[in-house]
Structure 1
């Protein structure tokens, strides 16, 4: 099986960061390409990779068979089936259900946080003040982390033990947001953010993002 991961602008695409981390966790070699969002190249991608409509997308080729898997959650489930030894989900059934629930809520929820704190891996805003709805999202996320740690008896630094799982990958873009916007967190949550940002695959993604020159104005603020 050969893989090619097609990503949006790494500076702004938290969805692509998730897929990157999950794919890196499989330790399977893969090619990757960045297609700048909402450009002619992006339109061409959607024509060539129909029915994929957004990025990231995983192109999996085996012999004459070519599969296109789009959406970070679908990519995660596909890779989990193909690479069970990667441990993308916790081994314990109860923990696995909990991890999937966290990923699903992160995948579809937290609309205020997404709107007011877009992913931007090149900026660091020191004077950002979240509104009440965004603060509620931030508190909910930190509460979910603490709940996950309690469910796994606090064993290990990641959400569900000593091993990085899909749940950690899904919260990595949020962690980047917390640092971009200088969000004040409790000590335990701050330590978790440090852990995810130090992860080699996260650091590799962020470093690559620094060299990108595309600018999406709706993800940029004028304030510092």
Structure 2
């Protein structure tokens, strides 16, 4: 099995796909395609069959199966290894977890545009727009509900690490990078995600990357 990802410092979708692959427990090969500039365009058209011809990452290859889009990758892997590895067993908790993941997958456009993921950077003086503030408040609200209703089994949104945490891990990184003020429960949750061994491996790799995309290095 192979997963094709972009720069670990910048690619939030790659982080989700990679964490899903780690959560599956299956062995996989990791292929990094550096994003941006002429090299990215050349790689997209190199014809080797290993590059994202549609210009997006992550992509999962499993023998003859090719799966793109981070949510599709997570669901494919859940089908392959057992859905309980990713989703809560309780019907009510699982319903909420699925809703949160779907919302994360399709929403929060202001947060995404104003706070691009940059794992190794800390931005001073960031002031979110009203739309971005609304996204942040919504995220904190559903984090609080998940933790209060279903978080007794551990420090993550539904107790143990799962699909919801996979999908909100890039948000944790963004909140840290842009120094977003959060209440105590959220800070504790973010610490648990940030200190997870897989997340720390990703952070370390991000810090060791040589690529820099200038547009993501300053606050607009």
Both structures adopt the same fold (TM-score exceeding 0.5): yes
Deviation at 1:168, TM superposition (A): 0.4
Matches within 5 A, 1:49-64: 53-61=55-63
Deviations 1:177-202 (A, max 9, x none): 00101111000000101000000000
User: TM-score w.r.t. structure 2 length?
Assistant: 0.91
> Any idea what SS the aligned residue of 2:139 has?
helix
Partner of 1:44: 45
Q: Do 1:121 and 1:180's aligned partners in 2 also have CA atoms closer than 8 Å?
A: yes
3-state secondary structure, aligned to 1:107 = helix
Q: Distance in 1 between the 2:93 and 2:156 partners? A: 13
**Contact 2:59–2:69 under 8 Å retained in 1:** yes
Quote the Cα distance in structure 2 between the aligned partners of 1:33 and 1:172. 21
Flag the 1:46–1:54 CA change in 2: closer, same or farther, 3 A: farther
CA gap 1:152/1:86 in 2 versus in 1, 3 angstroms: closer
Check conservation: 1:35, 1:41, Cα contact below 8 A: no
Rounded Cα–Cα distance in structure 1 between residues aligned with 2:104 and 2:47: 25
Name the CA distance, whole Å, in 1 between partners of 2:33 and 2:144. Answer: 36
Cα distance, 1:178–1:45 mapped onto 2, change above 3 Å: farther
User: Which structure 2 residue ranges, 5 or more long, are not aligned?
Assistant: none
For 2:107 and 2:4, how far apart are their aligned partners in 1? 24
Structure 2: how far apart are the matches of 1:29 and 1:48? Answer: 21
Give me the whole-angstrom Cα distance separating, in 2, the residues matched to 1:45 and 1:17: 24
Q: Do the aligned residues in 2 keep the contact of 1:197 with 1:203 (CA within 8 Å)?
A: yes
Equivalent runs, 1:83-94 vs 2, <5 Å: 83-84=81-82, 87-94=85-92
Report the alpha carbon displacement of residue 57 of structure 1 after superposing the two structures with TM: 0.6
CA offsets 1:72-113 (integer angstroms, 9 cap, x no match) = 000000000001176111111221121111011111100110
Matched position secondary structure for 2:73: helix
* Residue 182 (structure 2) aligned to one of 165, 181, 185: 185
- The 8 Å contact of residues 8 and 35 in structure 1, kept in 2 or not, is answered as yes
Residue from 113, 126, 132 that aligns with 1:128 = 126
Partner of residue 116 from structure 1, selected from 104, 114, 117: 114
How many equivalent residue pairs?
A: 216
Over the residues paired in the alignment, what is the CA RMSD in angstroms?
A: 2.0
Which runs of 5 or more residues in structure 1 are unaligned?
Answer: none
- 1:48 is paired with a residue whose SS is coil
Q: Distance in 1 between matches of 2:48 and 2:96?
A: 37
